[in-house]
Structure 1
Amino acid sequence: MLPLVTTTGQNRQYKPFQFGDLQALVDKLPPIHEGGGLWLSKFNQYTQGQTLALGDLRAALSRAVTPGDLRDIEMTAGTVTKQDDILLALHLNTLSGVLRAKYPLPNTMAMPKVTWDGKQNPREFLSKAKDMWVQQTGHHPGQAGTQEGWFRAAILAGIPQAVKTVMEDNPDMPGCNSQKWENHLVHHLTRAQEAGEKQQKEVEELQNLLLKMQVGEARRKVNEAKAKPKALIVSEVPHTPESCSPPPWAQQPPHYHSAYRGRGMGNRGPRGGRGGPIQRPVIASDQCSFCLERGHWSRECPLKAQRGRGRGQGPPRGQGGYCAPGPNPTNQMPLAWDEWEGQEGQE
């Protein structure tokens, strides 16, 4: 909301602040007893971009000072007879001087300090600091005197401690002119700025290096985790061909069959008990079922004739009682011992 609004024909019409807007503005302003220049500087800051009238400043001052103090201010500035719709810019310089004189700064602690952030240009920092000082005190800090000392103290309080120490330890700084003091300050601020940028660059490089190392370590752990199961399989299940069973189609070792039943064995089992299983040899068509030799049958077997002469005797001494069969022919037929005995009875 603008106190002075533009209407048709470019004629300005005064429109005072509403109560809520005026009270919100006054609540943002510092106490005027901390410095008239500071109060007016904040007033201009919060109303920047608006076209103000003399009545707007009167309304704000009426909430900051007593009616008697307000009348004294306007009497000194010569605005008592002026109307509220008069542009404030026409009398601002006069009113500013009166407010600074009536409510001076008690000391430098009342001055808001301009803090250098390390990225700001040193010359630009000094220029803004001097403008702020002029707005709040009405005195240029370049002039020799008390204001110059206060300004330098306020500047040193807002810069890095290292630069402040260098400036204070320099014996040529106290009492020197403003140009020399400012040149030294800009030089040391520039060096501090370059050192800060170099340090920040080193920190960023270290952070990038640390990040790469962390990524490499993470990749190494992932690769180890992938390779670990394979290593376990190789170590836990070693390749041992000797322990594997031969496939069913592989050539089997030859089996040996008993050609005779030992003396007194009868139909005993493997341990001599009766009723046990009997080995059934595989007999070829041209093989003797008694001695398992080829070329004759059991009725023509000479060993069988010897058995007939001595019933119950085993094979001749020195022959062992077992004989290995020859190569197995393609045509084979099983024959049990009880069948042999049946054939023998018939013969």
Structure 2
Amino acid sequence: MKDVATAAGVSSSTVCRALNSNPQIPEATRKRIQKVAEELGYRPDPLLSAFASRRRGRKLGSSVTTIAYITNFATRDEWRENPFYKRCYEGIRERVESLGYKLEHFWLGETGMNAQRLSRILYNRGILGICVAPMAHVREPIAIEWERFSCVTIGYSVMTPILHRSTPHHYHGMQLAIRQLYDLGYDRIGLCLFSDTSRRVDELWLSAAFLAQNGRLVLKGVEARDFAIKTYLFDDNTLADVPDWCRREKLDVVISDNRIVAQTMRNAGISVPGEVDIATLNWNEANGGVAGINQRPDKIGAAAMDMLIGQMQRGERGIPDVPLTTMVEGVWVDGKSLSLVDRT
């Protein structure tokens, strides 16, 4: 670092800040110093850098080893009621703590809080890394001062700006669910989603169902049976129409991610399971035996932290030039919500 400082005509502390993309150093100076470092073959020791950061953190009261988890639901802890979000958070916390960092929750709904003020709070505390949780409102822009932080998000609800993200492999999950149900002998499969949820997963479940319906999904058997996939997107005003849709399409099984779909069918006199079976795209341990796709949200959270901490250690700040998406493969879990045996 001293060699870089001598070659660039600056102090070692300026080199340190420039190599960590500290916004207090002018961008032109940062780039010049980074170029000199590259030409000299400078490579930081990540363990030594982490140790030095922690020492500075204790001395200055900085939170350099703290990662901010940012939510924006109507209440501070509403997200904890969602099993997927809760397990994501647990996976994040476990990975963060195993690597010697700590996690702190920040809610944008606090009295007097907004994205700009939160940015200043985090920056002044020395927090370098932020994880943006799934947002309450899909694709609503967030005015964080991104250039000050290493950033990652979970899922597709945040699309402005485009950050590094960790997400379920929704497309493969839908394909896996269709194949499993087909192999069990189901011929008429329905996909029933809340329209906002479909947008929240970037329409990937819907896309996979559409291609399967049009013969683009390889199914077992020399000669495929007659096979149909029907889709229905509902909102608060059209949820009551779901039972009529099931009857009209003569469905054997309905795939959804929302338990309210099965309850609505039961309220309309449809036996579930039995007359119509049910599978979920968002399986969790407390789902009452419903079969479906375990998206492994804890692994999604852990993968997000691997991306984020890597950025922090490399000194990468701001909106990435090349945003990366890590997709975690889901697994099928059997359950008593499927009553049909294989008829082949």
For the aligned pair, the TM-score class normalised by the smaller chain equals: under 0.3
Which is richer in strand? 2
Kindly indicate whether structure 1 or structure 2 has the higher relative contact order, using CA contacts under 8 Å at least 6 residues apart.
Answer: 2
Normalising to structure 1: TM-score of the pair? 0.21
Richer in helix (by share)? 1
TM-score (norm 2): 0.21
